[in-house]
Amino acid sequence: MNIIKAIIKFIHKMNEKIAKLFSYCIVLLILALCYEVVARYVFNAPTTWSFDATYFFCSAAMIFGMAYCWQLGGHVKVDIFSVKLPRRVNAALQCIFMVVLFFVCWINILHSMFLDVIKSWSILERATVGFMPPIYPYKTWIMLGVFLLVLEGIVIFIKELYVLIKGEELI
């Protein structure tokens, strides 16, 4: 059990560090947007790179923050009914829904993304508008963010399964 706890702590810490590192992309996003606004409206010289830069920065901050947000319980939940249930029953429902909905959905998405990322790297795919930046790194970090989300899902599933079996929290 100590090995499982160590793995859970490692995944939590990894997701936290990655999310905090990529949160600085928001600062870069704001700087790029401010630069674009000044260039466009003050100097009447809009940039060709601003649109691509903003969705790169925003996507990196968002995708690498999803797992950490879930770890902290920051996602919106509608728990009108489950909050009134005993903790073990709630854990059973969480396990069922995670297997039926979460894992089926996100593992299929991850599989499709993996195939798309391989193809994108093989042709060194570029955007077709703007200044045509390479998008294979973009697709790669989106896939890595989804992978981290699935890892966090596994951790949460294990914690809920432990509550279901033992009746107490794992960590």
In whole angstroms, give the CA distance from residue 92 to residue 35: 51
Residues near 130 by Cβ (< 8 Å), separated by ≥ 6?
48, 49, 51, 52
Alpha carbons within 13 angstroms on the beta-carbon side of residue 46 total: 6
Strand, coil or helix: what is 71?
helix
Mean pLDDT (whole number) for 17-27: 95
Is 152 within 8 Å of 64 (Cβ atoms)? Answer: no
User: pTM here?
Assistant: 0.88
* The predicted structure's pLDDT at residue 88: 93
* The predicted structure's pLDDT at residue 141: 95
- According to DSSP, the residues that pair with 134 across neighbouring strands are 126
At residue 42, what is the residue type?
V
Kindly report which listed range (117-121, 131-135, 143-147) carries the lowest average pLDDT score.
131-135
Is the pLDDT reported for residue 27 higher than 80?
yes
Mean pLDDT (whole number) for 48-69: 91
In whole angstroms, give the CA distance from residue 166 to residue 159: 10
Q: Which helix (H) or strand (E) holds 79?
A: none
Per-residue DSSP letter, 99: I
User: Which tokens go with 78?
Assistant: 């509608």
In whole angstroms, give the CA distance from residue 151 to residue 117: 19
Mean pLDDT (whole number) for 54-80: 90
At residue 88, what is the residue type?
R
Given pLDDT bands bounded at 50, 70 and 90, which one contains residue 74? confident
In whole angstroms, give the CA distance from residue 79 to residue 75: 12
Q: Which helix (H) or strand (E) holds 137?
A: helix 136-166
Mean pLDDT of the chain: 92
* The predicted structure's pLDDT at residue 79: 80
